[in-house]
Amino acid sequence: MAETTTRAAQPRGFRSAELGWPELHRIPHPPRRLPLLGDVLGVNRATPLQDSLRFARQLGPIYRRKAFNREFVFVWGADLVADLADESRFAKHVGLGVANLRPVAGDGLFTAYNHEPNWQLAHDVLAPGFSREAMEAYHPMMLAVAGRLTDYWDRERTAGRSVDVPGDMTKLTLETIARTGFGHDFGSFERDRPHPFVTAMVGTLTYAQRLNSVPFPALLRRAAQRNADDIAYLNRMVDDLVRARRAAGGDGDLLDRMLETAHPETGERLSPENVRRQVITFLVAGHETTSGALSFALHYLSRHPEVAARARAEVDRVWGSAAVPGYDQVAKLRYVRRVLDESLRLWPTAPAFAREAVQDTVLAGRHPMRRGAWTLVLTPMLQRDPEVWGADAERFDPDRFDPKAVRSRPPHVFKPFGTGARACIGRQFALHEATLVLGLLLRRYELRADPGYRLSVTERLTLMPEGLRLHLERRADSGATAAPVAESDEAPAASESRCPVSRAGD
């Protein structure tokens, strides 16, 4: 494992890049760098990721930016990222906004440092919770929550109102992970305002991002107090949830695994404090990114009626007249899955991941790195690299994920769930949920975009389309009358779009 702490117990990557990159001068940076302030001209504190993408287009596949007294290296070139995926030389680096979440998530799966033992313990205990058998058990609950969404959307449509896509997808995915993982119902669709959990979660994510844009955290004194209040609320809510479970007994879900399952080899169990951290991690990460992925996919479907028609025809053909789809029928929606993958290509809702050198090395044979040096991979730029994706890489085209197209591309160019041993443990859960929901919505509605809407992306560590509303038209037959036909013999997408649960991490 890579050692990621110093004697001061801070991530080594908090060091400025010149300490880890001996030939940093060879890496370009934005023009007009200001003394003391760094590369701040023309940037917006609310859109650091989109600013980084703009600089990436100007400066190329590897570049650096300086903010006050710290300098960072960004990478998006396909050959560089492929080299960073080498697990023998690089590991996950916890830095930037991720480390800023440690006051709430601690050594949970997403925010743990590589050397912290609870990461491996929790991963080994919880990985069976994402097996095929477990996923099949979650499927009816996913259907039930999706039914609450469509009931709500039917009421909004009848009243002549458009629907708030990001807000409603957040309600959907929060309820899904809460019910499947922890047996809890937030009552999101019965509320006029977001559940306090969502408000507190958004507050912690926003504060974590703001910490990256100020030279001294003391400048955010009032925001820090609000953040402390948000964290206290999240902790209380989870503690109440755990107490209720202990009193009521097991339900066979993720929370039961956290409370009752011992490591198969060591017999060790998660501590009560770590259980709290894992629950918060799953509730936050288990719904925030999936809601964004669904929202972007619905945006593109509304803007590309020919794609929506093709996807809808697949749903009608594969699901036929069945009142609700079975678990195995979801994976047969191969074109719907391509729509989701293409949306994740253009706007991966977790838009970056950091990699740290575990030994002195040379990145792609060109850029020396000392042990502990790190870089941030800009996933949206990697997945728009014209040398890989073509001159039309900015265009939405689900056929990029036709199996033949996938096989023609090099590995490591599609990374919406991260890479390596600590890629997202819940990847299969998110993909099943999102494909199921898209299929259900396409089967039930025609999606009409507001002609005046232009995609605007809001950033709070994850990405979400801002202000996206859609008008709904109920399909006359709801897609449930077509007779089923034989399944296509087309193979599912290759390794780019599949990740065996046994190899998933965080």
In angstroms, rounded to a whole number, what is the distance separating the alpha carbons of residues 155 and 175?
A: 19
> Is residue 410 a contact partner of residue 388, using CB atoms and an 8 Å limit?
yes
3-state secondary structure of 155: helix
Query: For strand 457-460 and strand 445-449, is the pairing parallel, antiparallel, or unpaired?
Result: unpaired
Helices and strands in the chain, H and E counts: 18, 12
Residue 9 has what DSSP assignment? S
H or E stretch at 472: strand 469-474
3-state secondary structure of 357: strand
3-state secondary structure of 51: helix
Query: For strand 361-363 and strand 367-369, is the pairing parallel, antiparallel, or unpaired?
Result: antiparallel
β-partners of residue 459 are 463
**HSE, side-chain direction, 13 A CA sphere, residue 244:** 11
> Is residue 501 a contact partner of residue 131, using CB atoms and an 8 Å limit?
yes
In angstroms, rounded to a whole number, what is the distance separating the alpha carbons of residues 422 and 418?
A: 7
| Strand boundaries in 260-411, DSSP class E | 352-357, 361-363, 367-369, 374-378
Please provide the DSSP assignment of 293-305 as one string. HHHHHHHHHHH-H
Q: Which residues of 156-175 are buried (b: 16+ CB within 10 A; e: fewer)?
A: bbeeeeebbbbbbbbbbbbb
Residue 56 is encoded by which pair of tokens?
Answer: 């990436």
- Residues marked active site are found at 289, 417, 424
328 contacts: CB under 8 Å, gap ≥ 6: none
Q: Which residues of 444-483 are buried (b: 16+ CB within 10 A; e: fewer)?
A: bbbbebeeeeeeebebbbbbbbeebbbbbeeeeeebbebe
Q: Which amino acid, 380?
A: P
Please provide the DSSP assignment of 378-392 as one string. EHHHHTT-HHHH-TT
> Is residue 376 a contact partner of residue 96, using CB atoms and an 8 Å limit?
yes
Tell whether the torsion through CA atoms of 312, 313, 315 and 321 is positive or negative: positive
In angstroms, rounded to a whole number, what is the distance separating the alpha carbons of residues 419 and 426?
A: 13
